[in-house]
Structure 1
Amino acid sequence: MTEAVGQRLAAALAPLASLLALLVLWEAGVRWFEVDSFLLPPPSAIGAALLDSAGPLWDNSLYTLRTFAAGFGLSICVALPLAVLVTASRWLAAAIYPLLVLIQSIPKVALAPILIVAMGTSEAPRVVITFLVAFFPLVIATATGLLHTPPELLRLARSLRASALQRLLYIRLPHAVPFIFSGLKMSATLSVIGVVVAEFVAADRGLGYLMTSAMAFFNTPLAYAAMLLLSLISIAAFHGIGLLQALLFPWSTGQPNAAG
């Protein structure tokens, strides 16, 4: 028991020690080579910007989180049923899949100004851009999971006269859970990128907007502080989805003690 706790503690402290060493080297390197703060601010300057601009950073973070939640939530609502349709029949797959690839192939940075002209400068185009960035990986991951179901189980279910809906709910979806959550993790991190792309193009609030405004006035520490918060949002979303999977579907995490 003590050895297991020690191993977990060491595993938790190792990345923290690496991060601390990186920050120390960063701080020392900037000061030793006398790099101007507007080119590369030291961690101390970024920390000071976090404290000095806590109010604006908090307000813009909430705005970015709202757009992230709307776009990511919309991607879940569309991607999961779409993946079921794609895997329901070969005809539907042939009809829908090329359209998905076409949408995914469009550069979202180029699409953002077009959407803003078409939909106005409201929050709607930013949500749509976030959705477009996030939904494709979730569709592919979910479809892969649904198609990964062992065929012998499906044959057994048919022999027991299980309906298509029953096979989907009780066999295919449970086997697809690990794939779905992998897609959710990927889509969550991409959603943050989508929000920033949209806020770069046209926004009057948000962390992406704050970064462009800060760089326009060469306030690089504030831009780094906003970028740090964006990274924290992405990391929190990634690990939050992993925690949700461990709580709701512990058997799908692949951990040795998941069954216990």
Structure 2
Amino acid sequence: MPSLATALMPRSAGTLVVLLALLVLWQGLHLLVGASSLASPAATVAKLASLLVTGEFWLNISETMRAFVAAFAISLFGGIALGIVLGVRKLAGNVAEPILTTLYSIPKVVLYPLVLLCFGLGISAKIAFGVMHGLIPITLFSMNAIRQMKPVYRRTSQVMRLSPVQNAFTVIMPAILPEIISGVRLGFSLTLLGVLIGEMFASQRGLGFLLTSAINLGQIDTIMAIALLLTVFAVTCNALMMRFDRRLTHR
């Protein structure tokens, strides 16, 4: 029987090949368009290393993470709760689904003046903008997961006369958890994107604000360094959620 290390070798080798291919493509594009348009991988890593040793940069990271954690927590728990309610109540779900889909298709940027009017300039507006991006996908995934759940689970909970809370936590949640994780992965990325866009429009601190400042000043190396940091963070978190999802599926 092959060991775990042996089973993971092909996957690790494939990941390494993809990373090397991306680095080669990145370096090739840098040579093609020049440093004024795209920083090289080495220059980007060096710039990121220089930023990470400054206290001001960590203050901006902390500001973005505060807004992101709050927005993602609201999107996660609110989306799952709303999805369960709409999934269990078929009529409410049928009415809400086209409304949520339409709201999700609207470019959120056009709603930003309304967000500023309601929440003002500050972290509240960034949190609201993040929730606007992440809440609906998690809600839709959770609702559709309940719709596709085996009917025998619901009948069993009715026979056992479980309360709505017991039904939600002991029957529905375990049954739809893999689908919820898929929605959470999407909601995670979109919430982070929403917070960054919020910082780019109206903020005096945060990674989104730094990106806007770097764009205005034409600092390509700073733009690439922040983009690399955000990419590593998002890919790492996504990989951890995928690993958790595979373990659940295996069980």
Q: TM-score range by the shorter chain?
A: 0.7 to 0.9
In the superposition, relative to structure 1, how do residues 161 and 10 fare at CA in structure 2: closer, same or farther (>3 Å)? closer
Match of 2:35 among 24, 27, 37: 37
Matching residue's letter, 1:13: A
Paired residue for 2:148? Answer: 148
1:50/1:57 contact within 8 Å kept = no
**1:63-212, aligned counterparts within 5 Å?**
63-212=63-212
Could you tell me which runs of 5 or more consecutive residues in structure 1 were left unpaired when the two chains were aligned: none
Backbone CA RMSD of aligned residues? 2.4
* Per-residue deviation, 1:193: 1.1
Question: Residue deviations 1:84-105, cap 9 Å, x none?
Answer: 2212323433554444234323
Paired residue for 2:14? Answer: 14
In the superposition, relative to structure 1, how do residues 102 and 29 fare at CA in structure 2: closer, same or farther (>3 Å)? closer
Matching residue's letter, 2:205: R
Is the deviation greater in 231-240 or in 207-216?
231-240
Structure possessing the higher relative contact order (Cα contacts under 8 Å, 6 or more residues apart): 2
Paired residue for 1:228? Answer: 228
* Per-residue deviation, 1:244: 5.0
Is the deviation greater in 152-161 or in 134-143?
152-161
**Alpha-carbon distance in structure 2 between the residues aligned to 1:29 and 1:135:** 36
1:192/1:230 contact within 8 Å kept = no
1:104/1:136 contact within 8 Å kept = yes
**Alpha-carbon distance in structure 2 between the residues aligned to 1:70 and 1:81:** 17
Q: Secondary structure at the match of 1:254?
A: helix
**Alpha-carbon distance in structure 1 between the residues aligned to 2:7 and 2:88:** 45
**Alpha-carbon distance in structure 1 between the residues aligned to 2:242 and 2:25:** 31
2:88/2:146 contact within 8 Å kept = no
Is the deviation greater in 124-133 or in 110-119?
110-119
Find out whether 1:254 has 2:239 as its counterpart: no
2:67/2:127 contact within 8 Å kept = yes
Paired residue for 2:217? Answer: 217
* Per-residue deviation, 1:29: 5.3
Could you tell me which runs of 5 or more consecutive residues in structure 2 were left unpaired when the two chains were aligned: none
Match of 1:47 among 45, 48, 64: 45
Q: Percent identity?
A: 25
In the superposition, relative to structure 1, how do residues 87 and 11 fare at CA in structure 2: closer, same or farther (>3 Å)? closer
**Paired positions, count:** 249
In the superposition, relative to structure 1, how do residues 160 and 233 fare at CA in structure 2: closer, same or farther (>3 Å)? same
**Alpha-carbon distance in structure 1 between the residues aligned to 2:193 and 2:174:** 30
In the superposition, relative to structure 1, how do residues 2 and 87 fare at CA in structure 2: closer, same or farther (>3 Å)? closer
